[in-house]
Amino acid sequence: MSETLQIIDPSGKKVGTAPRLKNEVLLAMYRAMVRTRAFDDRCMKLQRTGKIGFSVPNKGIEATSVGAAAALDLATDWVAPHYRDFGIPLFHGIEAVAMMDNMYGNVDDNAVGRQMPVHFSFDNPLKYLSISSPLGTQIPQAVGIAMAMKRRKEKGVCLTTFGDGSTNTLGFHSGMNFAGVFGAPVIFLCQNNGWAISCPVEKQTASDGFAIKGEAYGIPGVTVDGNDVLAVYRVVSEAIKRARAGEGPTLIEAVTFRMGGHSTSDDPSKYVDPKEFDEWEGRCPIKRFRSYLIAEGKLSEEEADAIQAEADAEMMAAAKEAEAKPVPSLDTIFTDVYAEVPPHLRAQSDFAIGHYSSRGEGVNEKGEFPL
Partner 1 sequence: MVQAVNDGLKSIMREDDSVLVLGEDVGPKGGVFLATEGLTSEFGEDRCFDTPLSEDGIIGVGVGLAMNGMKPVCEIQFQDFIFPAFDQIVSEAAKMRYRSGGQYTVPMVIRTPYGGGIRGGLYHSQSGEAYFAHTAGLKVVVPSTPYDAKGLLISSILDPDPVVFLEPKALYRAFREDVPEEMYTVDLSTTRDVVPGDDAVIFCYGAMVPVATEAARRVKESRNKDVRVVDLRTLMPLDEDAVLQAARDCGRIVIVQEAPRFCGYGSELSAMIAEHAVEYLEAPIKRVTGFDTPFPNTLENYYLPDARRVTDAVEEVLDF
| Residue tagged active-site, from 48, 114, 271, 346 | 271
Residue 72 lies near partner 1 (rule: CB under 8 A): no
96-104 and 23-48 are packed helices; what angle lies between their axes, rounded to 10 degrees? 20
Which secondary structure element, helix H or strand E, spans residue 224, and what is its range?
strand 221-225
83 assigned to active site: no
Binding string, residues 231-250; x marks residues near partner 1 by CB under 8 A: --------------------
For partner 1, the binding residue among 20, 151, 270, 275 (CB under 8 A) is: 270
Q: Based on the residue annotation, tell me whether 271 is a catalytic residue of this protein.
A: yes
- Determine how β-strand 221-225 pairs with β-strand 250-255: parallel
- Using the rule CB under 8 A, which residue among 121, 132, 141, 177 binds partner 1? 132
Question: What whole-number distance in Å separates Cα of residue 331 and Cα of residue 211?
Answer: 46
Shortest approach of partner 1 to residue 112 CB, angstroms?
8
**How many angstroms separate the Cα of 44 from the Cα of each of 112, 283, 299, 315?**
22, 22, 29, 12
Rounded to the nearest whole angstrom, what is the least distance from the CB of residue 25 to partner 1 in the complex?
35
Is residue 55 part of the contact set for partner 1 (CB under 8 A)? no
Judged by CB under 8 A, which of 72, 116, 126, 239 binds partner 1? 116
Residue 112 and residue 336 in contact, taking contact as beta carbons nearer than 8 Å: yes
147 binds partner 1 (CB under 8 A): no
Residues in contact with partner 1, shown as a per-residue x/- string from 303 to 342 under the rule CB under 8 A: ------------------------xx-x-xxx--x-----
Choosing from 166, 193, 250, 256, the residue that interacts with partner 1 (CB under 8 A) is: 166
Torsion sign over Cα 353, 133, 59, 50: positive
Task: End-to-end CA distance of the chain: give it in Å, rounded.
Answer: 56
Interface with partner 1 includes 359 (CB under 8 A)? Answer: yes
Question: Residue 27 or 327: which CB sits closer to partner 1?
Answer: 327
Taking CB under 8 A as the rule, does residue 119 contact partner 1? yes
User: How far is it, in rounded angstroms, from Cα 81 to Cα 138?
Assistant: 7
**Residue 36: other Cβ atoms inside 10 A:** 29
Instruction: List the catalytic residue out of 258, 283, 288, 290.
Output: 258
- Residues whose CB is less than 8 angstroms from the CB of residue 53 and which lie 6 or more positions away in sequence, other chains included: 47, 116, 117
* Minimum CB distance to partner 1, residue 337 (Å): 5
Outline where 94-223 has alpha helix (H). 96-104, 138-151, 170-182
Is 262 an annotated catalytic residue?
yes
- Cβ(15)–Cβ(7) below 8 Å: yes
Provide the annotated active-site residues.
258, 262, 271
* Contact residues for partner 1, defined by CB under 8 A: 53-54, 105-106, 109, 111, 113-116, 119, 132-135, 165-166, 168-170, 196-199, 203-205, 265-266, 270-271, 327-328, 330, 332-334, 337, 344-345, 348, 352, 355-356, 359
